[in-house]
Structure 1
Amino acid sequence: MVDRVSRRRGAELEDAILTAAWEVLLAHGYHGFTYEAVAAQAGTSRPVLYRRWPQREELLIAAITRSWQSQPILLPDTGNLRDDAVELLRRLNARRPMMVALMSAQIMDYFRDSGSSFNKLREALYSPGEPTPFEQIVTRAVERGELSDATRPGRVLNLPFDLFRHDAFMTMSEASDDAIIEIVDDIWLPLLRSSAEGR
């Protein structure tokens, strides 16, 4: 087996390693996420991993990023901000099991041990300067004339996702459609408009 897989090169080898790394993370969590375990799962050697990812945390982030980006959430375009936001949360909700499985158990120890945070992980998942999905749908709403062209805090723009994430960790189950609509209609949209008016 090792002879066969060792012939892989470049992108094919990296893809196999990151697939194996993700599988190890889901199966064994952060403390079981070792070079030895990933190399064995991928059918390769530890030096191959070291050359690409000198630090274990680099391999961890690469595996998470690859998994996240391999299942992109398409940005809805319903023609209005409210429906875009509701549909985006519904699409996130459909992906909740993967997100909860990862964040609730597998890498909480990573955050604790490394002193990192979800915000730093989120930065790694997006290209530098790339707006988040909620920032994008707000920008489109401004372009359509639904919202004033005012500066809004990032915390306000991304609040629906932050509330959704908190609910995911607290309930460990799918969000109801009523909860999604409440986040958008009763909390986010009023705050989005009032935060702009107050500046």
Structure 2
Amino acid sequence: MITFSAAARATVGRPSGMRIAPGPVQCWVGMSEHSDPARATRRSGEELREAILDAVLCELFERGYAGLTFDGIAQRAHTSKPVIYRRYATRAQLVLDALVRRAPADLPSASAGDLRTDLMELGLALGSRFEQIGITTVRRLIADVDDDLLPQLAELAAAPAEAALQRVLDAARARGELGPEPLPDRIAKLPLALWHHEMLFIGHVDEAAVADIVDRICLPLLTRRV
């Protein structure tokens, strides 16, 4: 699950003036240390950044990417638009930084004992992460990202998944499930390419889709001995 900063978590359990936003991520908005205007003017550096990024996620999951505005973020973070503009030039920069910063650390880190199970668990975990962010947000981000933001997009979408898949393949090779020859790069990354295609063009990836991709395509290619 996407997480929030200590400041945002500190608002949990405070009943006065608080509401829980709908959607896959809970946003606690109400009386907190950020609600004091005098304190807000003194915030800087990482403390201010944390407040802005928490506000971005809350606005994103309440209003969607299209409804995300610098005005709404500034109001929720108890800061001003010029302060945000000094750090972020575009909405895509804001959303990417917030999602990278709060990306859930929920991809499998240990092997379950066999290649098929590991691939299934990874595919389902990626699908769950994708659904938390949402298809509309992902598609709009891709449309808005320029060359300067591509490294951040890769950090959000590709790098953690590639590292997790490499752990799966390394464990499988150590157990003798893979052939003796190194896997071509495109074959090694094929599971991710197929899952990402399913997410982007179908809109979700469920257990049946993961199993079909793993059993009919990935396992035969990954484990072939020629």
* Shorter-chain TM-score tier: 0.7 to 0.9
Q: CA offsets, 1:112-146, max 9 Å, x none?
A: 24457xx8665122797994311221122223332
Alignment of 1:1-199 (within 5 A): 1=35, 2-68=37-103, 70-99=104-133, 101=134, 104-114=135-145, 122-125=153-156, 131-172=162-203, 175-176=206-207, 178-194=208-224, 197=226
Aligned letter for 2:221?
L
Q: CA offsets, 1:47-104, max 9 Å, x none?
A: 3323333454332210121232x443232411222221122223334445314x2xx2
Preserved CA contact (<8 Å) 2:74 2:81:
yes
Cα RMSD of the aligned pairs, angstroms, is 3.3
Decide which structure has greater helix share: 1
When normalised by structure 1's length, the TM-score is: 0.74
Deviates more, 1:181-190 or 1:87-96: 87-96
Q: Structure with the greater relative contact order (CA < 8 A, sep ≥ 6): 1 or 2?
A: 1
Deviation at 1:186, TM superposition (A): 1.5
Q: Give 2:32's aligned residue.
A: none
Change (3 A) 1:112 1:126: closer
Structure 2 unaligned segments of length 5 or more: list them. 1-34
Q: Count residues in correspondence.
A: 190
Aligned letter for 2:123?
L
Deviates more, 1:45-54 or 1:137-146: 45-54
When normalised by structure 2's length, the TM-score is: 0.66
Structure 1 unaligned segments of length 5 or more: list them. none
Following the alignment from structure 2 to structure 1, what is the Cα–Cα distance between the partners of residues 126 and 80?
A: 36
Following the alignment from structure 2 to structure 1, what is the Cα–Cα distance between the partners of residues 60 and 157?
A: 21
| SS in structure 2 of the partner of residue 6 of structure 1 | helix
